[in-house]
Structure 1
Amino acid sequence: MLLPGKIMRFIFALTSILFAITAQAQPSPPAQVECDEANQILIKACLTKLAPQAIQDRKSAQTATRAMMKNLDRATGRPEAFAAFKQSTRTYEAYRQAHCAWIGKSFAGGSGAGIAELSCQIDLDHARANELSRFYVQ
């Protein structure tokens, strides 16, 4: 049986968890929508400005998640979560490179190939950062 103080702490903890889940950042719009410019030169310039922030957001999310996985391993005494996260990160990076290269190649050498590939990288980095943010409170 929970005592009144314990009930309040339980309700507070549950409310905090639910708030954290529902308060996640909204996904970013696709990069090409955000860079809706008049011509390919302006689109490429816009995407080139967006790319470093997308990379930084992904790396920040990876750093926070890495720390949580290390703490989890320490708390459980089982070195599994951090190793699995490292493998996940390597696999994501290989997927990002291969998938976005394919997107670029699907333009058959056309002038939009570089734009499509860069847009793909930005979108995947945003998605990865959003996915990882589910594991920590910002």
Structure 2
Amino acid sequence: MRFIFTLACALIVAHAQAEPSPPAQTECDAANQVLIKTCLAKLAPQAEQDRLNAETAARAMMKNLDRATTRHEALPAFERASKAYRSYRQAHCAWIGKSFAGGSGAGIAEQACRIDLDRARAEELSRFYVQ
């Protein structure tokens, strides 16, 4: 049953990540910052959910691997990697925002950064377990 759940999650993520998305700011190219912010606000939840789905599937695979090998190393390593990713995402995107020196586009750049990194993480994880 767990194998079926893992496979289903993998297929969902693979389908969602079939074509790479353009950078979020490019995708949300609009006439003004209000429209760009609105567009990014619509993209962010899906990017985060895709990442969470990919993490869930990868976590299930690592749990099954640890159970099969009785080594109990893959899941803790994956959890450390996931924590490191979240820290990197927060710090990197904060830096992107700060690079606008308080300008009006800082929030847009930071949100676009989070979307792009979440999409990339979901794609990377799906390549790992969907072969």
The TM-score normalised by the length of structure 2 is 0.85
Mapped to 1, the partners of 2:129 and 2:30 lie a distance apart of: 35
1:133 aligns with 2:123: no
Moved segments of 4+, more than 4 Å: none
SS at match of 2:75: helix
SS at match of 2:22: coil
Mapped to 1, the partners of 2:124 and 2:85 lie a distance apart of: 12
1:36 aligns with 2:29: yes
How many residues are treated as equivalent by the alignment? 116
The superposition leaves residues 80-102 of structure 1 with CA deviations (integer Å, 9 ceiling, x where unpaired) of 10000000000000000000000
Mapped to 1, the partners of 2:115 and 2:62 lie a distance apart of: 25
Name the structure 1 match of 2:41: 48
The superposition leaves residues 41-95 of structure 1 with CA deviations (integer Å, 9 ceiling, x where unpaired) of 1000000010000000000000000000000111111101000000000000000
CA shift at 1:25, angstroms?
1.9
Cα RMSD, aligned residues only: 1.6
Name the structure 1 match of 2:4: none
CA shift at 1:134, angstroms?
1.3
Structure 1 letter corresponding to 2:98: K
Aligned counterpart in structure 1 of residue 77 of structure 2, from 84, 94, 109: 84
Mapped to 2, the partners of 1:126 and 1:55 lie a distance apart of: 8
Mapped to 2, the partners of 1:28 and 1:132 lie a distance apart of: 15
CA shift at 1:26, angstroms?
2.6
Structure 1 gaps of 5+ residues are: 1-23
CA shift at 1:135, angstroms?
2.6
Name the larger-Rg structure: 1
Mapped to 2, the partners of 1:118 and 1:136 lie a distance apart of: 28
Mapped to 2, the partners of 1:86 and 1:66 lie a distance apart of: 8
1:100 aligns with 2:82: no
Identity %: 76
Mapped to 2, the partners of 1:130 and 1:71 lie a distance apart of: 21
